[in-house]
Amino acid sequence: MSHGAPPDVIAVRGLNKSFGRKHVVIDLSLTVARGEILGFLGPNGSGKTTSIRMMCGLLTPDSGSGTCLGYDILTESDDIKRNVGYMTQRFSFWEDLTIRENLEFVARVYDMPNRRATIDRALEGLGLASRAKQLTGALSGGWKQRLALAACMLHKPRLLLLDEPTAGVDPNARREFWEELHRLAGEGISVLVSTHYMDEAERCHKLAYIAYGRLLAQGTAEEVVASQHLATYAVTGPGVAELGDRLRGAPGVDQATFFGSSLHVTGRNATLLETTLREISASTELRHTRVETGLEDVFIHLMQAATDNYANEVGR
């Protein structure tokens, strides 16, 4: 096969995976470009982790095909693994070793030449040099996360796969982590990341929303929002707290969700939705204003629709 640079770092078509009777990933097709950060979103049990692992040759699909870094995901998974950094949800390092000792262990596993210089570079690059002798068990979530990223990057991968990397990490450490991801993307490293945080989703170049094994939407944040054709109104005023239950199921109302002191009311039929809200406002002191549909509005909509459609399907 030709090992010239492929147009896409990942290009998979029709991937399927079942565990027993559970069809966990259904006909997944997706592409990731060089230097692109793709955010993988969806509820727990939607098949995100299984999808990520199939796309990088860590798990063999039941059917489908594709390439990762120019290698065939079915027949050349060993070549892929050598060029991929994979960061799992759970922190998996030796708590009773120092930061440096943990990185030395990883470097030995990869049988790296010039281990000391490589580790020094990794420590310096992620601001860990001053803490190199600190025991890993004593680190905060944010510092453990930096260590995990440093370990991922030791063998200079061209693709990073991050499975909910910032779960349980404070907001400042999350922000710094994302700044680092964008720096790596700027160097041409592609990043595939699963997350539950909307602010992180908005930092991705592109998004893929998966629920119950099916890819329901993909593209930039703007494209994903536009694809759902939703109208959204913010309702404010006295008594808005009691309005949520009253609106659910009303004509034109697909969902009603609180955002701070306002109620976001969303639906596909803007005219019907506006009529319903006007009728309510006429008999109360409530005010309704058309607002831009946000990513979170869209994800709540997609999650509700997916739960209805696939209530009997279980992912993992």
C-alpha dihedral over 116, 118, 119, 123, to 10 degrees?
140
Check residue 314 and give its pLDDT: 44
Check residue 121 and give its pLDDT: 84
pLDDT class for 307, splitting at 50, 70, 90? low
Calculate the alpha carbon distances from 204 to 9, 42, 127, 173, 181 in Å. 16, 15, 23, 17, 10
Q: What is the mean pLDDT of residues 86-101?
A: 80
Residue 91 has pLDDT above 80, yes or no: no
Segment 11-27, tens digit of pLDDT:
999 999 999 999 999 99
pLDDT class for 305, splitting at 50, 70, 90? confident
Residue 309 has pLDDT above 60, yes or no: no
**How many degrees, rounded to 5, is the angle at CA 104 between CA 120 and CA 96?**
115
**What are 250's two structure tokens?**
């009303």
Helix axes 141-153, 99-109, angle to 10 degrees: 30
How many C-beta neighbours within 10 Å does residue 271 have? 10
Residue 2 has pLDDT above 70, yes or no: no
Q: What is the mean pLDDT of residues 91-120?
A: 85
To the nearest whole percent, how much of the chain has pLDDT over 90?
A: 45
To the nearest whole percent, how much of the chain has pLDDT over 70?
A: 94
Query: What's the predicted TM-score (pTM) here?
Result: 0.83
| Rama region for 124: left / alpha / beta (φ>0; ψ in -120 to 50; rest) | alpha
pLDDT class for 177, splitting at 50, 70, 90? confident
Check residue 316 and give its pLDDT: 43
- Domains of the chain: residue spans and CATH: 8-224 (3.40.50.300), 229-292 (3.30.70)
Check residue 3 and give its pLDDT: 52
Check residue 30 and give its pLDDT: 93
Q: How confident is the prediction for the chain on average, in pLDDT?
A: 87
Calculate the alpha carbon distances from 79 to 62, 188, 252 in Å. 20, 19, 52
Distance CA 105, CA 162 (A): 20
